[in-house]
Structure 1
Amino acid sequence: MAAHPLALDLALTIRHDGQGGVADDLQDPTGLTRWVREHADALAVLPAADRFRADDDTLAAVRSVRTAVRSLFARAVPGGPNPSDAQRPLPVESALRSLNAAAAVVPVVPHLSWPEGGDPTEESRPVGTASHRDALTAALASSAITLLTGPDRARLRACHAPRCVRYFLKEHPRQEWCKQSCGNRARVARHHERHRA
C-alpha cells in the first residue's frame, strides 16, 4: 500500500485535521493497528502484519520512533523544519540515539531467494525471533535510516503551506507543497496578505 518510504508514511501520521488543528492517526492502539495493517506489505519483517493488534506499550514505542524521525526530518530539510516540529523537536543526539537503539533491537541479515526461472532477490530478515513491538519499531527505524542516508534525503521537504504539518518527497523541481490543496491555501494566504498590506 505504501507509495512512500515507510518512515515518511510514519511521519505523515501527524497531519492537518482540516479545521485548523493537528490530527494524530496514532492517537490510540486502534489507530496504530489500522496503520500497521494498511502497511502490511511494507512490514514484511513483522509476522502476520495484516492481523497485527497494537497495545499501549507498542503504541508508545512507535510514537517514540516517530518523534525521532520527525526531529531528524526537521534537520534534513532545506528551508527549515515543518512549523509543527520547530517548537518541539528532540535534540539531534537524542533522536539519533532513539532511532539507532530501535533499529538495533532486531538485527537483520540479507537473505537470498532465487526462484526457478526468475531473478535472484534479496530481502532483509530478522536474526532470531523478536516481539511484534521490537520488529515493528526496528523496521520503522531502519526505514528512516535508509531514507536519511540515501538519495531520497535530497528530495525530502517540509510543506510550509498554512496549517500543514507534512513532509514530502519533492517530485519535480518546482514543487513547493505536499499537495495541490496546500499550494492553493498558500496562494490564497499570500493574496490576502498582499491586499491587507
Structure 2
Amino acid sequence: MSLLLSPAELMPPAPGEDVHPSLALANSSGRQDDPEEGDLLRTPERATQWMIERNLTVPDVALYEYCSNRLREFRRVVREVLGAAATGTSPDRQAIAAINEAMTQIPSVTLLAWDGQRGFHGRQKYAETQAVEQALSAIAADVLNLVTGDAAAMLTQCAAPSCGRFMLRTHARRQWCSTRCGDRVRAARAYAKKTSRPLP
C-alpha cells in the first residue's frame, strides 16, 4: 500500500491491471468527477512510486517533473487508443504514432536475473537516465499486445458514470471495475428511486 496516497485515493486495481501495465497507466488518473485528487502520477514522487510498484523501473530511480509530465501525457495517448479499441471507433492517428514512437525509443533487452524473493525473473536492461523512456516503451508494447490480442474482445470501460476506468470484462455480466463502483451505482439508483428522480 502506498504511503504517499490517502486511503480515500486508493482504488482497487481494475481487472486486467495486474498483467497489463497499459491498463494500469490508463487508470492512474483520478475518477472523472475528481481527477486531480486521485491522480497517481500527480507529482514526480507519485509517478516514481507508480513505476516502481509495477516493475517498470528499478527502486533507486527518482523522476523529475519533466519525466512525470511525459508519463501523464502518455497516459492521455494510451487512454485514446484503449478507448477506441473498447468502443470499436477510429483512434486518433497521432495517438497511434505516439505509441509506435515510444516502442522504438529504447531497444528492448531482457536479462536473466535472480534474487531470494522472486527467484528467476527477467530484468530489463536500460540506462538509468532513460527510466521514463524504458517505461513508455514497455507500456507501448503492452498496448500493442492488448489491442491486437485475444484480450481485446474483453476490453471495456467501467459503466459507473463517475469512473471511466478501463478493465477486462472477466465475465459477460461484469459492468464495473470494482465493487466500490458497483455499490456507488446501486446506491445512486436506490436514492433516485426513493426520491423519484431519473435513474443514471
Q: TM-score range by the shorter chain?
A: 0.7 to 0.9
Question: Quick check: 1:174 aligned with 2:170?
Answer: no
* Helix, strand or coil at the partner of 1:168: strand
The aligned counterpart of 2:54 is 39
Work out the percentage of aligned pairs sharing the same amino acid. 28
CA distance in 2, matches of 1:124, 1:26: 23
Aligned AA (2:34): G
Shift in Å at residue 155 of structure 1? 1.0
TM-score (norm 2): 0.73
Please show how residues 63-82 of structure 1 align to structure 2 within 5 Å: 63-78=72-87
Deviations 1:114-133 (A, max 9, x none): xxxxxxx996966x857222
Describe the shift of the 1:34–1:124 C-alpha distance in structure 2 as closer, same or farther (beyond 3 A).
closer
Select which of 62, 67, 70 maps to 1:61: 70
Describe the shift of the 1:37–1:71 C-alpha distance in structure 2 as closer, same or farther (beyond 3 A).
same
Aligned AA (1:16): R
Q: Residue 77 of structure 1 contacts residue 156 of structure 1 at CA under 8 Å; is this kept in 2?
A: yes
CA distance in 2, matches of 1:165, 1:16: 7
Describe the shift of the 1:109–1:122 C-alpha distance in structure 2 as closer, same or farther (beyond 3 A).
farther
Describe the shift of the 1:78–1:133 C-alpha distance in structure 2 as closer, same or farther (beyond 3 A).
closer
CA distance in 2, matches of 1:26, 1:95: 20
Please show how residues 181-196 of structure 1 align to structure 2 within 5 Å: 181-194=180-193, 195-196=196-197
- How many residue pairs are counted as aligned between the two chains? 171
The aligned counterpart of 1:94 is 94
CA distance in 2, matches of 1:51, 1:186: 41
Describe the shift of the 1:181–1:110 C-alpha distance in structure 2 as closer, same or farther (beyond 3 A).
closer
Aligned AA (2:136): T
CA distance in 2, matches of 1:13, 1:142: 18
Describe the shift of the 1:21–1:10 C-alpha distance in structure 2 as closer, same or farther (beyond 3 A).
same
RMSD: 2.9
